[in-house]
Structure formats: structure tokens, C-alpha cells
Amino acid sequence: MRKDYKAYSGVQFLLAKYRNIFGRPEKRKCYLGEDFRASERRFLKFALEQRRIELEEELYQRKTIN
């Protein structure tokens, strides 16, 4: 099984971007230890899912215009 490294690095980039958004100091004050980790995971899952939906909508709009 071959890995697609270009796509993998894109996912890693998005995760780093969203972790940076979630990991701001004001968020860190709200959570303690494992609660922060669990909340971060839920946020990352939500953010990636929203990104997928945005991309699908953009592709659909491009198809309907052409």
C-alpha cells in the first residue's frame, strides 16, 4: 500500500493550523489536563469535517457554473 505523502502533509498542515487556533491562551485557561486534550480532539474533528463540507460545496458551485 502506497502512502500519498502530499495529501498527508496537507492534513498535517491543517491539523497544525487548527491546533494553533484552539490552543490559544484563553482556551487553555478554560480546560484542565485531559479535558483540554479531549476538547481539542473534538474541535479538530469538527474543523476538518467543516473543511471537507466547504470543499464539496466549492466543487459543486464550480460544476454548476461551467
Q: Where are the domains of the chain?
A: 5-65
Residue 62, H or E segment: helix 33-65
Placement of cell 502533509 in the chain: 9
The answer to whether residues 11 and 19 touch, using CB atoms and an 8 Å cutoff, is no
**Is the full-model pTM beyond 0.75?**
no
Q: How far apart are CA 15 and CA 27, in angstroms?
A: 17
Question: What are the two backbone dihedrals, phi and then psi, of residue 17, each rounded to the nearest 5 degrees?
Answer: -65, -45
Which pLDDT does position 64 carry in this prediction?
Answer: 76
Cell of 36: 483540554
The answer to whether residues 51 and 29 touch, using CB atoms and an 8 Å cutoff, is no
Which pLDDT does position 39 carry in this prediction?
Answer: 92
Spans in the chain with pLDDT lower than 70: 1-8, 66
